[in-house]
Structure 1
Amino acid sequence: MKTLRHFLIVITIFSCTNTITAQKIKPKKVKENMQRVADWQIANFEGLYSGHKKPHHPLDWTNAALYVGMVKWAAMAEDDRYYSWLRNIGETNEWQLYKRKYHADDHAVGQMYVDLFRKYKDEKMIAPTKEQFNFLMFHPSKSALNWGTPYHQDRWNWCDALFMSPPVWAKLYRITGEKKYLDFMMAEFKASTDFLFDKEENLYYRDERYFDKLDNGTKVFWSRGNGWVFAGLVNIMNELEPNSEEYMYFLNIYKKMAEKLITIQTPKGHWAMSLLGQEFYPTPETSGSSFYVYGLAWGINNGILDKETYEPAVKKGWNAMVSHITKDGMLGYVQPIGAAPGKAWPDKTEVYGTGAFLSAGSEVYKLYGGE
């Protein structure tokens, strides 16, 4: 089995040398592209670019995913206007999480709140999040993880949730030192992984509905869904001590996914919307793919992934993502809101795609020499 995996990795590396995406990556250009995309997104924050009828609420998960990447860009930018933009969102909404108390999607904005708290040291930025999470610990959901059972999304029974809520718990643990946040998160994350993770493919099903489904004869592993998980693993590990038992748990999953991902990257540099079915989904998709670039670049930067093996996939992926930025700075080919492989278009985008791209850029910048 190890010999087969090594062979697949070698073949993938060889395919990454094609001339389409062989351009050299320069840190200055990475920042320029990040700023173009960030500025376009802020200017079009309430725009309708993928078919929804009205702008997303500022605290919705879609925007929360944008903020995760925007915070990373704000730390790289040469002025504080991006921090000011984010802070204004928090202040306008009184630093509240969104409307559903248990639902992971409505926790996601807490990631931005904690990151701003780290910069400004203003306790009011995280007080509502701490209060709500303390309530959840003492009133945990008893729902089963099976799809369709009563209150089933009160727990993390769909893979997107592993990006939305767990990093907030990890961040609260890091800033408070109170292990209760980490313990709760670990128990729920393990339950979700035991339920959703396919040990043969080292990928996550989106939810129970896809366990037995086949799409053109292949198992259905949604690209953005696994992108949510892969980026979420990174965002959790960033908050943990590298030698801790908890870190090693996440690292084990991360390495398995990383090894799989470079064997299924498409020749054009993106990842197919159905990860095992690139023959049937040739259209580029930039949200899931950006998350993979982010996670792989992070692994190289932190000495976890072998650079010689994984860097070609990062280079190919980043160049592919940049090729889908319009002249105005819009990131195209972002699949609209969904739960499964579908379609994407060059003139359609979404805020979470921008967030994924900015996250990717933050690590690509470091990988190619940015300070």
Structure 2
Amino acid sequence: MRNILNLLSIVFVFSNISYAQKIEPIDVKEIMEKVADWQIDHFRDTYSGREKPHHPLAWTNGALYIGMVKWAAMADDDKYYNWLKNIGEEKEWQLHKRKYHADDHTVGQMYIELYRKFKDEKMIKPTKEQFTFIRMHPSQSILNWKTPYHQDRWNWCDALFMSPPVWAMLYNLTGEQEYLDFMMDEYKASTDFLFDKKEHLYYRDERYMGKLDNGTKIFWSRGNGWVFAGLSNIMNELEPQSKEYKYFLKIYKKMAKKLLEIQTPEGHWAMSLLGQEFYPTPETSGSAFYIYGLAWGINNGILDKHTYIGTVEKGWNAMVGHVTKEGMLGYVQPIGGEPGNAWADKTEVYGTGAFLSAGSEIYKLFDGKLE
């Protein structure tokens, strides 16, 4: 009996090594630098079988920049800020080509963060002009999938990461209530349409409502990761006592509680959030966004540290375990809109962005000194 107990103890210890590994701020910074440098070196690579690299202003790279600018604020030299500035200058600080489409607004978050540091008005002028046009000429489309011009509004959950934070940032910068009012109206419409009030998760879009996968509702991990990280980025821009902040906080807390319940034993979140047994493969992009949002919540006094820190620690150690010795983050699910597959030797730029965002909050959480 004693031998059996000893064997079980050994199994338990080895199965929890990643969870038990102590997180040191210096190690967080080191792995973030390695991942950031690898991604810059491979910025124009093709991914997931694509024939051409992503456009520098595409949402894929926009998500990368959001994490990279957080890393730039932590780094010991300005090369990361310079890299981001060069992209903006080459593209004349324009957003991507579709005026209303949320994906093509994503890069605006990086532009505004650079403006905050360098105070150069040209960095945000095109974004302000385009968003002023949109709020003065709002789309009249409906949120049902594949109706005319349907993606001119936020009718897929990924959009809630891409565009709303830009609106909140512009409100914060300018003090113009119209930016905030537009964002609130559209965000509420999207949430009323896509949020499952029982599961406290978002459907990716209308196509997945009422549809089952192995008997479970389909809640795509990265899709909900987009939402959860976006909530943190929006609330960063709002006054905590405001009614708008409290609206987002309510959604955030519901999602955080659900995420606590459904984390896998390995530390990641399943690609179909309610279908762990059917999707055992690790996935790092959605999981990294959850770690970012949860760590942010602890750092801002929103989530109870005792309750959530184990989840965050376990998740971060799992993510670090999927970084190659060269600095590539593996197990990033390719572009898509539903649960699927991921591979140890495949990555994507938005996964790197999520990882760097997560690292920025992990660094603070474990007593890093970030000014």
TM-score normalised by the chain length of structure 1: 0.95
**The residue matched to 2:368 in structure 1 has which SS?**
coil
The letter for the 1-side match of 2:171 is Y
Give distance in 2, aligned partners of 1:201 and 1:168: 28
Question: What SS does structure 2 have at the residue aligned with 1:156?
Answer: coil
Which of the numbers 109, 112, 127 marks the counterpart of 1:111? 109
Instruction: Give the % identical residues.
Output: 78
- Match of residue 269 from structure 1: 267
2:193 partner amino acid? F
Give per-residue Cα distances to partners, 1:31-70, cap 9 Å, x unaligned: 0000000000000001123211110000000000000000
CA–CA separation in structure 1 for the residues paired with 2:328 and 2:28: 15
1:26 maps to: 24
Q: Which amino acid aligns with 2:318?
A: A
CA distance in 1, matches of 2:331, 2:365: 25
The residue number in structure 1 matching 2:336 is: 338
**Residue in structure 1 matched with residue 208 of structure 2 by the alignment:** 210
2-structure distance, mates of 1:274, 1:156: 22
Aligned partner of residue 154 in structure 2, secondary structure: coil
Q: Shift of the alpha carbon at 1:27? A: 0.2
State the AA in 1 paired with 2:17.
Answer: T
Residues 204 and 219, structure 2, Cα contact 8 Å, conserved in 1: yes
Q: Pick from 142, 145, 150 the counterpart of residue 143 of structure 2.
A: 145
For residues 49 and 370 of structure 1, what CA distance do their matches in structure 2 show? 33
Describe how 1:352-367 pairs up with structure 2 within 5 A: 352-367=350-365
What is the alpha-carbon distance in structure 1 between the residues aligned to residue 349 and residue 29 of structure 2?
19
Give the structure 2 partner of residue 303 of structure 1: 301
CA drift of 1:196 comes to 0.1
Distance 2:348 2:170 in 1: 28
Query: In 2, distance between residues paired with 1:20 and 1:41?
Result: 24
Pick from 46, 56, 69: which aligns with 2:54? 56
Following the alignment from structure 1 to structure 2, what is the Cα–Cα distance between the partners of residues 51 and 264? 31
CA distance in 2 between counterparts of 1:53 and 1:334 reads: 18
2:283 is aligned with what amino acid? E
In the aligned structure 1, how far is the partner of 2:265 from the partner of 2:44?
A: 34
Instruction: Note the residue ranges of structure 1 that are not aligned, 5 or more in a row.
Output: 1-13
What's the Cα RMSD here?
1.1
Q: In the aligned structure 2, how far is the partner of 1:49 from the partner of 1:149? A: 30
SS at the partner of 2:23?
A: coil
AA in 1 matched with 2:231: L
User: Partners of 1:101 and 1:49 in 2: how far apart?
Assistant: 26
In 1, Cα distance between equivalents of 2:189 and 2:352: 30
1:128-184 deviations in Å (ceiling 9; x for gaps): 000000110111001010001000000000000000000000000011111110000
**DSSP-derived class of the 2:262 partner:** coil
Q: 1:221-236 maps to which residues of 2 (within 5 A)?
A: 221-236=219-234
Q: Per-residue displacement from partner, 1:287-317 (whole Å, max 9, x unpaired)?
A: 0000000000000001100011000000000
Measure how far apart 1:245 and its partner are.
0.4
Letter in 1 for 2:84: L
- What is the distance in 2 between the residues matched to 1:23 and 1:203? 30
Q: Does 1:244 align with 2:242?
A: yes
> For residues 50 and 320 of structure 1, what CA distance do their matches in structure 2 show?
22
Q: Is this contact kept in 1: 2:70–2:357, CA < 8 A?
A: yes
SS of 2:227's equivalent in the other structure is: helix
Amino acid at match of 1:52: R
1 CA distance for matches of 2:327 and 2:18? 21
Aligned residue for 1:262, secondary structure, equals helix
1:369 alignment counterpart: 367
CA distance in 2, matches of 1:130, 1:370: 34
| Letter of the 1:68 counterpart | I
Gaps of 5+ in 2: 1-11
Q: What is the match of residue 94 of structure 1?
A: 92
CA–CA distance in 1 between the matches of 2:180 and 2:305?
Answer: 31
For 2:160 and 2:141, how far apart are their aligned partners in 1?
17
Could you say which residue in structure 1 is the equivalent of 2:195? 197
TM-score (norm 2): 0.95
How far 1:21 sits from its partner (Å)? 2.2
Letter in 2 for 1:200: K
> Which structure's CA Rg is the greater one?
2
- The 5 Å alignment of 1:256-295 reads 256-295=254-293
- Mapping of 1:58-97 within 5 angstroms? 58-97=56-95
Question: Which among 320, 341, 345 is matched to residue 322 of structure 1?
Answer: 320
Distance in 2 (CA, whole Å) between partners of 1:325 and 1:110 is: 28
Q: Separation in 2 of the partners of 1:53 and 1:347?
A: 18
CA distance in 1, matches of 2:293, 2:78: 26
> Equivalent residue for 1:5?
none
Q: What per-residue deviation string (whole Å, max 9, x for no partner) do you get for residues 310-364 of structure 1? A: 0000000000000000011000000000000000000100000000000000000
Matched with 2:7 is none
- Partners in 1 of 2:345 and 2:177 — Cα distance? 45
Q: What code does the residue aligned with 1:267 have?
A: P
Q: Is the 8 A contact 2:281 2:342 kept in 1?
A: yes
